Amino acid sequence: MTWVLDHLGLLAELTGTHVYLSLVPLVLGLVLAVPLGWLASRSRFARATLLSVSSLLYTIPSLALIVILPGILGTRIIDPLNVIIPLTIYTVALLVRSIADALSSVPANVVAAATAIGYRPLRRFLGVEFPLAVPVIVAGLRVAAVSNISLVSVGALIGISGYGALFTDGFPIGFMTEVVVGVLATLVLALVVDAALLLIGRLLTPWTRAGR
């Protein structure tokens, strides 16, 4: 406990980095996954291709990806992009399926009605299909957010520090307090972000709770 109080400055800094490294990929991943998910909901071929590629991407071990990627991208060894890019890839891999399923589940007669009363395709997507897909997309985002928050720690191995730094510092010298604090901090952050996404989802979809 005294260790925590003595290192509040360090913890705050690590929290900032950890949030940045996990949420930036979440946002980037969402932006990329929406058009891909839309494509996958439109044709069976696109769906089969995109979903198998994204499952494949998700099976690449995070450690391997984080270690190999700087070589491929030519980024410097402690560039935050070395973490942001792999996590964006994982986020896309998780969200493409959610978004494709969410868009396919929008009732066909609602989409037909929108077309029949004069919506053009883009406006129909933004005004009807996407809003109706929000509940399922938010569920996917919550999984991706928690997954990112846990994966950021791996970045510590290549010197990009979130809470992972607490493990790489504490573990080799057998200082377990630091490791435990790292685990707890990761857990608390995951819960807070998850709750925030849940809340945002509820604010965006008042219609899902309208009872008779």
Partner 1 sequence: MIEFQAVTKRFDDGTVAVDELNLSVDPGRITVFVGPSGCGKTTSLRMVNRMIDASSGTILVDGKDIRQSDPPLLRRGIGYVIQQAGLFPHRTVLDNVATVPLLSGWDRRKARSRAAELLEIVGLPSELGKRYPAQLSGGQQQRVGVARALAVDPPVLLMDEPFSAVDPVVREGLQDELLRLQDELDKTIVFVTHDIDEAIKLGDKVAVFRTGGKLAQYDKPSELLARPADDFVASFVGRDRGYRALGFLSADGLPVGELASVVLGTPVDQARAALRQGWAVVVDERKHPVGWVSADRLSTVDGLVTEDVLLSGGSLYDVDSGSLRSALDSALSSPSALGVAVDGTGALVGSVTADEVLRALASARDAGEVPQ
Binding residues (CB under 8 A) for partner 1: these are: 107, 109-110, 112-120, 123, 128, 131-132, 205, 207, 210-212
* 4: CB partners within 8 A, 6+ apart: 11, 181
**Burial zone of 121 (CB within 10 Å; 0-12 exposed, 13-18 middle, 19+ buried):** exposed
Residue 76 or 209 having the CB closest to partner 1: 209
Residue 15 or 205 having the CB closest to partner 1: 205
To the nearest whole angstrom, how small is the minimum distance from the Cβ of residue 120 to partner 1?
A: 5
* Alpha carbons 76 and 66: distance in angstroms, whole number: 12
* CA dihedral for 144, 147, 153, 158, sign (positive or negative): negative
Residue 50 or 114 having the CB closest to partner 1: 114
To the nearest whole angstrom, how small is the minimum distance from the Cβ of residue 200 to partner 1?
A: 16
Residue 63 or 110 having the CB closest to partner 1: 110
* Alpha carbons 206 and 180: distance in angstroms, whole number: 39
To the nearest whole angstrom, how small is the minimum distance from the Cβ of residue 48 to partner 1?
A: 21
